Structure 1
């Protein structure tokens, strides 16, 4: 990711965070307990929502994003360990985590299938696996627009795919989807799943 994108990310996202995303993050994250894996922690937006975790291990491969998250990490209510790692290569033992959380991350990971397999590996069987993701809309016209825009958008937004069918990826990689909520005309999904291994 470019340094420029990481610097403008928080200001661009602020209106969405105030309108709805912040509430979704809080509801999904605040009651999670134990040692939590956060995949693609970005600028640390989720850190303030952890209230009951014993510890959060947050991976983020982009140095600029990690640096921006340091102040939020220090203000967090629970211990946060920030790790330089990619989702496709998690440097943790099998069955380490009590939950995993990813918010607006699977759109940018180059190999999301590999990342999802890694999440399964490092999480204990049956634990919560939680996502907030934007996805390709399952309607012809808006879906085609997302397909058309994606090559340009990826260049502007450092690899973000507007047209990934993330819900199918989650299901295909062995997670048991228990609840799905749709927002913004089905573009944004909240997915609550369990580690199905």
Structure 2
């Protein structure tokens, strides 16, 4: 991830983060329990919302993003450890975490199928995976527009795929969705998956 993208990420996201996204993130993170793994923690935007978990291990591939997350990590009310790494090759044993959290990060992971398999591998039996992502819209016109924009968007937003069909990827990986909520006419989706 580029230093420039990391530098401006919070600025460009702030209008959304002050409104609906803040509410979505808070509600999602409140459902996290026990030992948590956060995938693609970015600038640490979720860190202040963790309250009743034992520990958060955050993994992020960009050193620039990790550096930007230090302030939010410092004010968190729970212990947070941030490590540089890849979602496709998680450095943790099977069944290590009670909850896995991914927010607006799966869209940038080069191999999302492998990343989802890794998330399921490290999540304990009976644990949960909590996702908040933008997805390919079901409207034929808007979905086609996302397909058309994605190559350009990936270049300016460090690999972000506007047209990733996250729900279908989850289903194809034999993961059980127990809760699904859509926002902004289906552009964003929140999923709770049980292992």
TM-score (normalizing by structure 1): 0.97
Structure 1 equivalent of residue 124 of structure 2: 124
More off after superposition, 69-78 vs 24-33: 24-33
Query: Partner residue of 1:3?
Result: 3
Task: Determine the structure 2 residue equivalent to 1:111.
Answer: 111
Deviations 1:20-76 (A, max 9, x none): 011111111124221100000000000000000100000001000000001111111
State the partner residue of 1:35. 35
Q: Does structure 2 conserve the Cα–Cα contact (< 8 Å) formed by 1:42 and 1:65?
A: yes
Aligned mates of 1:24, 1:99 — CA distance in 2:
17
- How far apart in 2 are the matches of 1:126 and 1:169? 20
Question: What stretches of structure 2 of length at least 5 have no aligned partner?
Answer: none
Q: How many residues align?
A: 195
Distance in structure 2 (CA, Å) of the matches to 1:93 and 1:180: 28
SS at match of 2:125: coil
Residue 141 (structure 1) aligns with: 141
In structure 2, C-alpha distance between the alignment counterparts of 1:174 and 1:157, rounded to whole Å:
30
Give every structure 1 segment of 4 or more consecutive aligned residues whose post-TM-superposition deviation is greater than 6 Å.
Answer: none
RMSD, aligned CA: 0.7
Equivalence for 2:174: 174
The normalised TM-score by structure 2 is: 0.98
Cα deviation code 1:136-194 (max 9, x no counterpart): 00111000100000000000000000000001111111211011111111000011111
Q: Distance in 2 between matches of 1:72 and 1:86?
A: 21
| Superposition map of 1:44-63 within 5 A | 44-63=44-63
Q: Within 1, Cα distance between the matches of 2:31 and 2:114? A: 28
